[in-house]
Amino acid sequence: MQIDPTPGTRHRTALGGLIATWRRRRHGRMALAAMDPRLLRDIGLSPEAASTEALKPFWRA
């Protein structure tokens, strides 16, 4: 059996990953909110779908 030399390392690593995911969501949603309808059409989204996604809290997938 191997003992983790630094207790809580897995928890800090998991927390760091979670925070990184939240940041990516936030930045992606902010980018969607800033796009004009032409750009949204180019990526296959309606303004309504983009607005719905942009308004989600960062912790929701």
6-55: per-residue pLDDT in tens? 667 888 899 999 999 999 999 999 999 999 999 999 999 999 999 999 99
**Confidence (pTM):** 0.77
Task: Note whether residue 4 is domain-resident.
Answer: no
Max alpha carbon distance in the chain (Å)? 58
Closest CA to 32 of 20, 18, 49, 17: 49
Task: Note whether residue 61 is domain-resident.
Answer: no
Task: Note whether residue 59 is domain-resident.
Answer: no
Domain range enclosing 50: 11-54
Total structural domains in the chain?
1
